[in-house]
Amino acid sequence: MSIQKLIVRTLLKLPDGALVAMAGGKPLAIDGRTLDARAQFLAVQGAKAPSITTLDPVTARAATAQGLKLLDGTRSPQVLVEAVTVPGSAGPLGARLYTPRNAGGPLPGLVFYHFGGCVIGDLDTCDTFCSMLADIGECVVLSVDYRLAPEHKFPAAVDDALAAYRYARDNAETLGMTRRIAVGGDSAGGYLSAVVAQEMKRTGEEEPALQLLIYPVTDMEWQGGSWESCENVYPLTREIMEWFIGHYLNDPGEAKNILASPLKSGDLEDLCPAIVITAGFDVLRDQGIAYAQALREAEVNTTYRSYDNLCHAFTAMTGVVPAAKRACEEIARDVRRILHA
């Protein structure tokens, strides 16, 4: 363990009161919610560092990857992890296959897309969380390293997400999966999962068994609500989200496309079951709530959970924020409940 990592983890073992005292002196409250003391400490420390909006995307990827290593938990030892390659829409993509060690045969599958605004992130970003999904969710997880902007702008990530799901669906036996295959992800990955679910219905193809949408981007033109009230909350400020969108889209008008903003679709009926997760301290909170409501109004089987005391990207904080770890475990149990129904 690096000295920096040891210092961070030692500090975050301090009592809540001490952490709050070092993070402004009083609990952070927004919209009637109070942020977890450890998440607040991280938010304050994160705000002191230069924003990734001051960096070029390549440098931002390296910087965020280094930061996430300080916060993430340990990969579940009950899961076997294998590096694999899957065909993307424009060439092969790196991927990881997570299989429970006690799997006695094929298990339901989950194609997972990591967070990062379609600009940053890689297979390490959600490595621990993917192992939790495989272990507790009792499923085989295929995590996909889709192409990123600005090198590969919209809709490259969507095209890769669709290609990866189709590959898993058509090669389920080889991957150790049954035909019950979900799609899922957090933030940008949640957005991609929502689009994949919609596109499979639109094209008349075999739909996923579940769409797992963790603090998803659902409308790239969203304004108001948490977009304003949480605009300065680490790790996803409004400025950073706008930076992501600016790098991802070829022009602002593409935000009206349902492949960029799935909430704009007027055809949500008969979609596969959904688990929608939001965090209380997140600029994306209200658009996630709106998508869950729209799914329910369309009579889609929807499980909605709001972790009001957590912030964006909590899936990568399981090593230092106990509330984040508990939330991730609960999400994995929800996945198991639906995929094994």
Active site residues: 187, 282, 312
Range 134-162 burial, b when 16+ CB lie within 10 A, else e = bbbbbbbbbbbbbbbbeebbbbbbbbbbb
- Of 179, 271, 259, the closest CA to residue 219 belongs to 259
